[in-house]
Amino acid sequence: MLARMRTAFRWLTSVLFVAIVVQVGFAGYGAFDAIHKAEKAPISQKTIEDTFNAHGFVGTLIVLIMLVLLIVAAAGRLGGTYVKWSGAIILLGILQFILGAVSPEVPQLGFLHALNALAIYAAVALLAHRVWTKDRPSTAAPATSPTA
């Protein structure tokens, strides 16, 4: 069971990393789609908000994946390091969700929303790298000693 939890954790870090990359792409799309629509005609706030729907949807999925990651780390008894990293990542995710919700009313917080996104990206990238490289069982053939 421990091996399955470790494998699930490994794959969850990868899914989370890819989702974060997609999330950043949707943020860029939302911004440039709003500019594109504004060039053609005046647009409403709702139109601008609608261009960020995919960004918001994927953001919600990311926070859910972060929660599952923490649960797998804790339930799978993968060690304090993974539980702490997963806990820190979900805290950053919750902060990101809050910043995203309040930034339309306080645009200056949008700066922190972007910086926090970079922190999430870095933390998930480091965690994924670790579980895929350092903690993976070695598949190398055991060294043999020469016989005399």
Q: What is the pLDDT of residue 138?
A: 55
Residue 148 belongs to some domain of the structure:
no
- Quote the mean pLDDT of the chain: 89
How do residues 19-77 score in pLDDT, each as one tens digit?
Answer: 999 999 999 999 998 889 888 888 888 888 888 889 999 999 999 999 999 999 999 88
Query: What is the Cα Rg of the chain in Å?
Result: 20
* CB distance 96 to 60 below 8 Å: no
Residue 142 belongs to some domain of the structure:
no
Q: What is the pLDDT of residue 47?
A: 83
* CB distance 127 to 85 below 8 Å: yes
Residue 115 belongs to some domain of the structure:
yes
Residue 25 belongs to some domain of the structure:
yes
Residue 139 above 70 pLDDT?
A: no
Residue 138 belongs to some domain of the structure:
no
Q: What is the pLDDT of residue 1?
A: 77
Q: What is the distance between the alpha carbons of residues 148 and 144, in angstroms, rounded to a whole number? A: 12
| Token couple for 79 | 């060690």
Residue 85 above 50 pLDDT?
A: yes
How do residues 53-66 score in pLDDT, each as one tens digit?
Answer: 899 999 999 999 99
Cβ partners under 8 Å of residue 136, min gap 6? 10
Q: What is the distance between the alpha carbons of residues 58 and 15, in angstroms, rounded to a whole number? A: 12
Domain span holding position 13: 2-133
* CB distance 97 to 117 below 8 Å: no
Of residues 145 and 54, more confidence is placed in 54
Residue 147 belongs to some domain of the structure:
no
Q: What is the pLDDT of residue 148?
A: 46
Number of domains in the chain: 1
How do residues 89-131 score in pLDDT, each as one tens digit?
Answer: 999 999 999 999 999 999 999 999 999 999 999 999 999 999 9
Question: What spatial distance separates the first Cα and last Cα of the chain, rounded to whole Å?
Answer: 42
User: In 3-state terms, what secondary structure has residue 28?
Assistant: helix
Q: What is the distance between the alpha carbons of residues 127 and 118, in angstroms, rounded to a whole number? A: 14
Residue 24 belongs to some domain of the structure:
yes
Residue 145 above 70 pLDDT?
A: no
Cβ partners under 8 Å of residue 96, min gap 6? 59, 63, 113, 116, 117, 120
Count CA atoms closer than 13 A to 129's CA, side-chain side.
6
pTM greater than the 0.75 cutoff? yes
Residue 139 belongs to some domain of the structure:
no
